[in-house]
Structure 1
Amino acid sequence: MAENDSLRHQGMRKKLVDGLKIKGIKDERVLAAIGKVPRHLFMESSFLNFAYKDQAFPIGAGQTISQPYTVAFQSQLLQIEKNDKILEIGTGSGYQAAVLLEMGARVFTVERQKELFQKVQLFLPEIGYRPACFFSDGNEGLPAFAPFDKILVTAGAPSIPEALKEQLKIGGRLVIPVGKENRQEMMTLIRVSEKEFKTEKHGGFVFVPLLKGTVNF
């Protein structure tokens, strides 16, 4: 990977991290991970000059690679501990999964778009990241691998899927943007007991919608 990750890229990442600190990201492990993951490798070559701007960009199949601030903000809300077992809903480019892996988590990631799933499954190991990748409907989670310490949803949901709540460990955290297509509220759901959940709200964001079913082309 080193030959594709120049000192210039590393310098641009440092600037990005400095900008994230100014915007309020305080978790040093999140900042260190963003400082290490080569975001430019996750993007179409035409966008390489924009790879370290704090913006979202298209990645194909009507999806985007999330804005670094959003990735950092959601990762910080998860309060990740080393070896946490994390379910990510919406693999997309694989960038968020790489950040979580860089933080020492064990990542199970689900993608409903076959084109993106196949691309990421080949690409991530090539640059040294090995999450467990699954092609399925994220609304269903991964019941066979539950429970999870943390669950992260990277698409806007009209409500919190019941299947995901059930797959969260007691004491676990679920981070999800909830709301209508044009604006969602970032929410943290903490499982207090078998039946009891506590919710926290963290402001407005805009994500692509969390859709049902899978896309096989």
Structure 2
Amino acid sequence: MDITHLETLIENDQLEEVVALLTQKPQLASQTTSHQISPVLLACYYKKLEIAKAIAEFVPELSLFDACAVGKFDDVTLLIFKNPATINSFSIDGFTPLGLACYFAHEDIARFLVLKGAEVNVASKNGYNVFPIHSAVAANNFNITKMLLDAGAYPNVCQKSGVAPLHSAAQLGNIELIILLLEHGAEVTLRMEGGKLPADLAADKGFNEIAEILMPED
């Protein structure tokens, strides 16, 4: 019941109540939630970063995945130093440390992991086939996307439903990201399941100028 209560507080963005509960029962911070992930990671997925950081303070030792998600650079460097082999491991929900750092837009951690040998072209192991570059583009983060591409990330990999990085960038309407991807060989002719091109997604969102730029030549 306690862990369910903590999950509800996280979901409802009740920071003070989370801290009060964990002050009484700090062991809850290290329990597995009903989603089969940690409370820290759950808060990160709910985009409640302040709550995630608060919960992290009650965890005796963060996992590498939680540290990457919440943005604890010092913890990440120490954990990799202690156990270098974990750098390309997978979390319980199927993501690599690099994938999590990219998704939650922690540029310093992503750069460190790549520097230390994190594989930039490894997909998630959870049926979604998400690569770090998908996560970086989904986070609308130019710097991380550029760093991944410079490190050899493939620009045309597709996650579930055939979504390539250019599809996501087009849907976001981020022209800088789009130009970056095109400069690194992203193909405007890739179609998602259902047949939509990046140009179609841009048009659907009202980014008509971007849609014109992305329209394949006849």
Whether TM-score is above 0.5 comes out as no
Quick check: which has more Rg, 1 or 2? 2
Higher strand proportion: 1
Bigger proportion of residues as helix: 2
Using structure 2 for the length normalisation, give the TM-score.
Answer: 0.26
TM-score (ref. length: structure 1): 0.26
Greater relative contact order (Cα < 8 A, sep 6+): 1
